[in-house]
A and B are shown apart, each in its own frame.
Chain A
Amino acid sequence: MHIHFLDPYRSGSSPVHAADARLKFVLTLAFILTASLTPPGAWPVYILLFALILSVEILSGLGVGYVLKRSLLALPFVLAALPLPFTVEGRTLFSLPLGGWMLTASLEGLARFVSVALKSWLSVQAAVVLAACTPFPDLLMAMRAIRIPRLLTAMFGLTWRYLFVLADEALRLMRARAARSGAETGAAPSASLRAGGSVAWRARVAGGMAGSLFLRAFERSDRIYAAMLSRGYDGEVRALPPPTFTAAHWLTLTLGLTLLALLLGFGLLFWG
Chain B
Amino acid sequence: MLYSPAPMHIPDGFLSTLVAVVLWILSAGVIAYALRRVGKDLGERQVPLMGVLAAAIFAGQMLNFTVAGGTSGHLLGAALAAILLGPWAAIIVMTTVVSIQALIFQDGGLLALGGNLFNMAVIGVAVSYFVYTSVQKIARGQKWGVFVGGFAAAWLSIVVAALACALELALSGTSPANVAVPAMGGIHMLIGVGEGLITLGALAFLYAARRDLLHIGEAAPAGGRAVWVGGLLIALLLAVLSPLASAHPDGLEWVAEQKGFLDAAQEPLYNIIPDYLFPGVSNDALATILAGILGVLIVFGVALGVAYLRRKQMTDR
* Chain A contact residues, CB within 8 Å of chain B: 3, 6-8, 14, 28-29, 32-33, 35-37, 43-44, 47-48, 50-52, 54-55, 58-59, 61, 70-71, 73-74, 76-77, 80-81, 83-84, 87, 112, 116-124, 127-128, 131, 136, 139, 149, 151-152, 154-163, 165-167, 169-171, 173-174, 184, 187-188, 192-193, 195, 199-200, 202-218, 220-221, 224-225, 228, 233-235, 237, 268-270, 272
Contact of A207 with B306 in the complex, beta carbons under 8 Å: no
Contact of A83 with B175 in the complex, beta carbons under 8 Å: yes
- B95 contacts partner chain A, Cβ-Cβ < 8 Å: yes
A-B contact pairs, 24 of them (CB 8 A): A6-B105, A43-B295, A47-B299, A51-B299, A74-B12, A74-B106, A77-B7, A123-B109, A128-B106, A159-B55, A161-B51, A166-B59, A203-B65, A205-B201, A206-B63, A206-B64, A206-B75, A211-B202, A211-B203, A214-B80, A218-B53, A221-B49, A225-B49, A272-B270
Contact of B75 with A210 in the complex, beta carbons under 8 Å: yes
Q: Which of these, A43, A193, A224, A270, contacts B64 with CB under 8 Å?
A: A193
Contact of B20 with A36 in the complex, beta carbons under 8 Å: yes
Contact of B263 with A119 in the complex, beta carbons under 8 Å: no
Contact of B44 with A233 in the complex, beta carbons under 8 Å: yes
Q: Which residues of B contact A7 (CB under 8 A)?
A: 104
Which residue from chain A places its CB closest to the CB of B206 in the assembled complex? Answer: A211
A199 and B63 CA atoms in complex are apart in Å by 15
A242 to chain B, nearest CB (A): 18
CB contact under 8 A between A54 and B299, given known A84-B175, A116-B174, A208-B201: yes
Q: Which of these, A35, A173, A204, A210, contacts B80 with CB under 8 Å?
A: A210
Q: Which of these, A54, A124, A154, A188, contacts B11 with CB under 8 Å?
A: A124
Q: Which residues of A contact B2 (CB under 8 A)?
A: 3, 6, 171, 192
Q: Which residues of B contact A47 (CB under 8 A)?
A: 295-296, 298-299
CB contact under 8 A between A224 and B53, given known A123-B13, A187-B66, A211-B209: no
A113 and B119 CA atoms in complex are apart in Å by 24
A155 and B94 CA atoms in complex are apart in Å by 11
Q: Which residues of A contact B68 (CB under 8 A)?
A: 199
Interface residues in B71-93 by Cβ distance below 8 A to A read: 72-75, 80, 84, 92
A224 to chain B, nearest CB (A): 5
Q: Which residues of B contact A80 (CB under 8 A)?
A: 14, 169, 174-175, 180
Given known contacts A155-B47, A155-B96, A204-B201, what 7 new A-B pairs fall within 8 Å (CB)?
A76-B7, A112-B173, A116-B13, A171-B62, A207-B203, A211-B201, A212-B209
A169 and B57 CA atoms in complex are apart in Å by 12
Q: Which residues of A contact B73 (CB under 8 A)?
A: 203, 206
A184 and B70 CA atoms in complex are apart in Å by 11
A3 and B45 CA atoms in complex are apart in Å by 28
Q: Which of these, B12, B60, B102, contacts A119 with CB under 8 Å?
A: B12
Contact residues of B: prevailing secondary structure: helix
Which residue from chain A places its CB closest to the CB of B210 in the assembled complex? Answer: A215
Contact residues of A: prevailing secondary structure: helix
A176 and B213 CA atoms in complex are apart in Å by 25
B183 to chain A, nearest CB (A): 8
Contact of B100 with A159 in the complex, beta carbons under 8 Å: yes
Contact of A54 with B63 in the complex, beta carbons under 8 Å: no
- B176 contacts partner chain A, Cβ-Cβ < 8 Å: yes
Q: Which residues of B contact A165 (CB under 8 A)?
A: 55
Which residue from chain B places its CB closest to the CB of A125 in the assembled complex? Answer: B106
Q: Which residues of A contact B270 (CB under 8 A)?
A: 272
Contact of A213 with B201 in the complex, beta carbons under 8 Å: no
From B66, B97, B273, name the one whose CB has the most chain A CB atoms within 10 angstroms. Answer: B66
Contact of B174 with A162 in the complex, beta carbons under 8 Å: no
A224 and B48 CA atoms in complex are apart in Å by 7
Contact of B53 with A217 in the complex, beta carbons under 8 Å: yes
Q: Which of these, B20, B97, B197, contacts A159 with CB under 8 Å?
A: B97
CB contact under 8 A between A151 and B13, given known A163-B100, A211-B205: no
Q: Which of these, B35, B46, B106, B175, contacts A149 with CB under 8 Å?
A: B35
CB contact under 8 A between A225 and B84, given known A54-B302, A61-B310, A116-B13: no
A123 and B58 CA atoms in complex are apart in Å by 24
A42 to chain B, nearest CB (A): 11
From B199, B270, B302, name the one whose CB has the most chain A CB atoms within 10 angstroms. Answer: B302
CB contact under 8 A between A159 and B106, given known A83-B176, A192-B2: no
Q: Which of these, B32, B104, B197, B273, contacts A207 with CB under 8 Å?
A: B197
Which residue from chain A places its CB closest to the CB of B46 in the assembled complex? Answer: A151
Contact of B52 with A36 in the complex, beta carbons under 8 Å: no
CB contact under 8 A between A131 and B103, given known A74-B11, A152-B96, A272-B263: yes
Q: Which residues of B contact A234 (CB under 8 A)?
A: 44
Contact of A136 with B104 in the complex, beta carbons under 8 Å: yes
Q: Which of these, B39, B60, B107, B210, contacts A210 with CB under 8 Å?
A: B60
- B171 contacts partner chain A, Cβ-Cβ < 8 Å: no
Q: Which residues of B contact A184 (CB under 8 A)?
A: 66
Contact of B194 with A203 in the complex, beta carbons under 8 Å: yes
Q: Which residues of B contact A52 (CB under 8 A)?
A: 302
